[in-house]
């Protein structure tokens, strides 16, 4: 889709309360363009609850129901059931949650809603931290990253939510990143037109959380994909397709950039470079990514 | 009208289905299970045409009811004990969001250790969530109260969720006859649900975003006013229901032989029903004692308690204990009397963990209170 073909409607209004350079608002703007005004959004506790702005104002031009942190998918299940009873199948129900609300506290409700074949789109914007509460670790935080609860770097690797989602065998699941507007819009648009449960996760590099300058948000997302630290894919009815550079990396048509090319710009990894290089942890980070791609190749690369 | 001879749970399910909620979301837990199973049967035989979401937890059950109610549908759920406790955060949420969800709670003990018998600590510990709380003592009352609960919850002067409580097994699993009016009577009584607010693509509004203290203060105050409105609307709606169906269950208290009473027993739930036999026996033996069975715990009927305190000394039986304080009903009764009455109040903790409370036990408690030999608060059966 060319830029000129993007939907002109803006459902995310001006004057919201996000940080400058916020990836969540970039993502929201694109997602809402693709979803359009016939959408009801369910939002749990996360940065977006702040981005909405202070009552009685709002930055959303669609109906939004806020719900408790762990509750997005369950709340959306109720909205969806009610609309179905009312015959309002023309309305899209979307949950929009952070990685904390998805990987950690909300995983049970999410898994339940997917298993029940709830007709909705669950969108996780993944900034790899609890940013609303001031940068704490989540299950999505990568190994060795600093957060306020992993002061000398996280000791564990992130969990692969995508693989957990795929185990539910839902009609559509995808990973994308705010740095690829076309990819975001096309995946959301596709999901909107598929009945049943859909899951889309959007990587959202967060300047204050990852400790990089606020003009580098888009670049941080691109480097994540170029280095293979993040991947773009979609899985429709169990048929997996990698997109863009991720496809080339999968097929070994291009080598991924060394992961250092991505992390060296992020203050959350600065302890791996200063006062001296922490070779052991740098190697472990690279190995995690290499192993992940080897696993992808085994599963998804057709000989 | 038909007579249904069945358990409290199955009669509650019948009432819930006849109220025609558009969405039911529930999760099984003993002793509520037969209630959700009965609804599943109504789904299978076509009597229930709404959505029945078999969620993966009680927390999600309440969330789904919240979502469905916010989308403008009438909703119902049922739970018990640990299920109710798991919902706690969302109970507050439903009430603060002013969503008229109706729920049956089967009063059951909280673990550890695991115990499935009756005890009211589960719902009593949710008393500050903003839900209206009603306690039943017979299957007919369960039927009538569930129907009225929808009317109450959705009343424009209330718009709060309502919890209808029935004691584990003594009511949930005991068959008693209940008169069931025809569907048309229920439909005419409840009318179609018109939501107070809803998620509407033609009027895009954000609900529940960040709010400053000024507005928040107002929200809490409005909830309190709604509960106060319920104090006169509960009996009024019950009168309307009596006109429609012939049955009356709906006062804040059910009074039994209170004329000339010098001592009045206050109790709730199944103990409330059992108390009538005790009162008969005590009166036969010449004691001037009557019964006020409390039906509505929230809103708390302060004015009625004061009236009782002007007439008689009060004896309170609690099947719950607010650890570190005292029985919840006893506590609130004394607070209501403060500065208004010289009445003596004696409190008994009884029947915790499902320990049987027979009419003989109730008689003994009353006698101790009447003789003045009881301490202010007594753990009945473990005085030594
Ligand atoms: C039950 C509960 N526990 C904790 C919190 C505090 N809390 C609010 S948002 C949040 C983190 C959100 O993280 P994420 O979902 O990743 O969204 P982000 O803030 O990164 O946008 C936490 C811990 C809460 N609101 N509710
Ligand atoms: S902390 Fe990050 S995700 Fe949250 S508003 Fe700021 S930039 Fe956006
Ligand atoms: Mg996050």
CA B87/CA B96 separation, integer angstroms: 14
Q: Do the Cβ atoms of B292 and B266 come closer than 8 Å?
A: yes
The domains of chain B are located at: 2-245, 253-379
pLDDT of residue A15: 86
Q: Do the Cβ atoms of B118 and B351 come closer than 8 Å?
A: yes
Tokens of B221: 């105050």
Burial A47-61 (b: 16+ CB within 10 A, else e): bbbbbbbebeebbbe
DSSP B60-127: HHHHHHHHHHHTT--EEEEEEHHHHHHTHHHHHHHHHTT---EEEEEE-PPPSSP--S--SHHHHTTG
Average pLDDT over residues B128-142: 97
Pairwise CB contact (< 8 Å): B67 & A67:
yes
Ligand 1 in reach of A95 Cβ (< 6 A) = no
Q: Do the Cβ atoms of A88 and A59 come closer than 8 Å?
A: no
The number of angstroms, rounded, from the C-alpha of B194 to the middle of its chain's C-alpha atoms is: 24
CA B253/CA B235 separation, integer angstroms: 10
pLDDT of residue A125: 98
Same fold, B2-245 and B253-379: yes
pLDDT of residue A228: 98
For residue B384, count CB atoms less than 10 angstroms from its CB and return exposed for 0-12, middle for 13-18, buried for 19 or more. exposed
A98 CA closest ligand 2 atom index: 3
pLDDT of residue B384: 55
Q: What's this model's pTM, rounded to 2 decimal places?
A: 0.97
Burial B204-223 (b: 16+ CB within 10 A, else e): bbbbbbeeeeeeeeeeeeeb
Under-50 pLDDT residues of chain A: none
Per-residue pLDDT reduced to its tens digit, B349-359: 999 999 999 99
Helix (H) or strand (E) holding A174: strand A172-177
Asked if A248 is an interface residue toward chain B (Cβ–Cβ < 8 A), one would say: no
Tokens of B87: 């919902």
pLDDT at B215 over 80: yes
CA B205/CA A62 separation, integer angstroms: 7
Per-residue pLDDT reduced to its tens digit, B252-303: 999 999 999 999 999 999 999 999 999 999 999 999 999 999 999 999 999 9
Helix (H) or strand (E) holding B227: helix B213-245
Note the residue count of chain B. 384
Nearest CB to A71 within list B90, B206, B210 = B90
Closest to A82 (Cα-Cα) out of B53, B68, B154? B68
**Cα dist from A134 to A99, A129, A209, B2, B260, whole Å:** 14, 9, 8, 61, 65
Which of A9, A13, A63 best tests the B interface by mutation, with the highest count of B CBs <10 A? A63
What's the topology of domain A7-300?
A: Rossmann fold (3.40.50)
B residues 57-76 lying closer than 8 A (beta carbon) to A: 57, 59-61, 63-73, 75
Nearest CB to A61 within list B70, B71, B204 = B204
Q: Which CATH number fits domain B253-379: 3.40.50.300, 3.30.450.40, 2.60.15.10, 3.40.50.920?
A: 3.40.50.920
DSSP B334-374: HHHHTTT----EEEEE--GGG----HHHHHHHHHHHHHT-S
Tokens of A135: 């940068």
| Homologous superfamily (CATH) for B2-245 | Thiamin diphosphate (ThDP)-binding fold, Pyr/PP domains (3.40.50.970)
Give the end-to-end CA distance of chain A in Å, rounded to a whole number: 30
Question: Across all residues in chain B, what is the average pLDDT?
Answer: 97
Which residue has the CA at smallest separation from atom 1 of ligand 2?
A: A131
Pairwise CB contact (< 8 Å): A49 & B54:
no
- Would you call A244 helix, strand, or coil by DSSP? helix
pLDDT of residue A302: 81
Pairwise CB contact (< 8 Å): B70 & A79:
yes
Q: What are phi and psi of B313, to 5 degrees?
A: -75, 150
For residue B2, count CB atoms less than 10 angstroms from its CB and return exposed for 0-12, middle for 13-18, buried for 19 or more. exposed
Nearest CB to B22 within list A42, A62, A85 = A85
The owner of tokens 């199948």 is A89
* CA nearest to B64 within chain A: A78
Q: Do the Cβ atoms of A291 and A284 come closer than 8 Å?
A: no
- Would you call A38 helix, strand, or coil by DSSP? coil
Strand partners, B104: B78, B164
| The pairing of beta strand A39-43 with beta strand B296-298 | unpaired
Asked if A38 is an interface residue toward chain B (Cβ–Cβ < 8 A), one would say: yes
Helix (H) or strand (E) holding B3: strand B2-7
pLDDT at B95 over 80: yes
Q: List, as ranges, residues with CB under 5 A of the ion ligand 3.
A: A 98-99, 127
- Would you call B4 helix, strand, or coil by DSSP? strand
DSSP A41-64: EEE-SSHHHHHT-STT--SBSS-E
A24 CA closest ligand 1 atom index: 21
Rounded to the nearest angstrom, the minimum Cα separation between B125 and chain A is 20
ipTM for this model: 0.96
Ligand 1 in reach of A47 Cβ (< 6 A) = yes
């Amino acid at each position: 889709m060319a830029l000129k073909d993007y939907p002109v409607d803006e459902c995310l209004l001006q004057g919201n309360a996000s940080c400058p350079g916020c990836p969540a608002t970039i993502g929201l703007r694109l997602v809402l363009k693709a979803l359009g005004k016939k959408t009801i959004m369910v939002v749990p506790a996360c940065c977006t609850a702040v981005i909405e702005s202070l009552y009685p104002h709002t930055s959303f031009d669609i109906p939004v129901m806020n719900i408790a942190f762990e509750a997005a998918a369950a709340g959306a299940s109720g909205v969806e059931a009610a609309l179905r009873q009312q015959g309002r199948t023309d309305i899209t129900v979307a949950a929009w949650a952070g990685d904390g609300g998805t990987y950690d506290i909300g995983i049970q409700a999410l898994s339940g809603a997917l298993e029940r074949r709830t007709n909705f789109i669950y969108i996780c914007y993944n900034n790899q931290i609890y940013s609303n509460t001031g940068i704490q670790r989540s299950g999505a935080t990568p190994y060795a990253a600093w957060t306020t609860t992993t002061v000398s770097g996280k000791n564990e690797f992130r969990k692969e939510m995508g693989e957990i989602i795929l185990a539910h065998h839902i009609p559509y699941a995808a990973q994308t990143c705010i740095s690829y507007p076309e990819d975001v819009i096309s995946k959301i648009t596709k999901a909107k037109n598929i009945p049943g449960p859909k899951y889309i996760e959007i990587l959202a590099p967060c300047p204050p959380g990852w400790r990089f300058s606020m003009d580098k948000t888009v670049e941080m997302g691109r480097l994540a994909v170029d280095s293979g630290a993040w991947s773009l894919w979609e899985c429709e009815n169990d048929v997996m397709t990698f997109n863009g550079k991720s496809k080339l990396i999968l097929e070994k048509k291009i080598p991924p950039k060394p992961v250092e090319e991505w992390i060296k710009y992020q203050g959350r990894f600065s302890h791996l470079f200063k006062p001296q290089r922490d070779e052991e942890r740098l190697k472990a980070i690279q190995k995690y990514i290499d192993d992940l791609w080897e696993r992808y190749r085994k599963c998804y690369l057709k000989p | 009208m038909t007579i249904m001879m069945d358990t409290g749970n199955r009669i509650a399910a019948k009432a819930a289905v006849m109220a025609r909620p558009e969405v039911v979301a529930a999760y099984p837990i003993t002793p509520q299970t037969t209630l959700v199973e009965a609804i599943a049967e109504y789904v299978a035989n076509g009597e229930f045409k709404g959505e029945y979401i078999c969620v993966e937890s009680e927390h999600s059950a309440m969330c789904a009811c919240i979502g469905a109610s916010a989308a403008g549908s009438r909703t119902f759920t049922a739970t018990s004990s640990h299920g109710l406790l798991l919902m706690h955060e969302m109970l507050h949420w439903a009430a603060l969001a002013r969503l008229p969800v109706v729920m049956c709670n089967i009063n059951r003990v909280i673990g550890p250790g695991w115990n499935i018998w009756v005890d009211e600590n589960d719902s009593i510990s949710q008393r500050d969530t903003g839900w209206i709380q009603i306690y039943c003592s017979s299957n007919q009352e369960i039927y009538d109260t569930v129907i009225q609960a929808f009317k109450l919850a959705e009343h424009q002067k209330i718009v709060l969720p309502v919890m209808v409580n029935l004691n584990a097994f003594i009511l949930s699993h005991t068959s008693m006859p209940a008169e069931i009016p025809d569907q048309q009577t229920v439909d005419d009584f409840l009318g179609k649900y018109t939501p107070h607010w809803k998620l509407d693509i033609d009027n895009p509004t954000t609900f529940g975003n960040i709010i400053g203290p000024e507005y928040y203060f107002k929200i809490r105050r409005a909830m309190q006013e709604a509960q106060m409105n319920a104090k006169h609307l509960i009996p009024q709606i019950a009168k309307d229901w009596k006109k429609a169906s012939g049955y009356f269950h709906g006062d804040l208290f059910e009074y039994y032989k209170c004329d000339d009473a010098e001592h009045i027993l206050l109790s709730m739930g199944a103990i409330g029903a059992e108390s009538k036999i005790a009162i008969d026996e005590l009166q036969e033996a010449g004691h001037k004692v009557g019964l006020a069975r409390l039906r509505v715990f929230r809103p708390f009927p302060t004015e009625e308690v004061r009236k009782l305190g002007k007439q008689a000394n009060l004896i309170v039986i609690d099947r719950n204990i607010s650890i570190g304080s005292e029985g919840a009903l006893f506590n609130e009764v004394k607070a209501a009397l403060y500065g208004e009455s010289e009445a003596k109040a004696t409190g008994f903790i009884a029947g915790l963990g499902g320990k049987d409370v027979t009419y003989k036990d109730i008689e003994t408690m009353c006698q101790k209170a009447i003789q003045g030999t009881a301490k202010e608060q007594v753990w009945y059966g473990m005085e030594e």
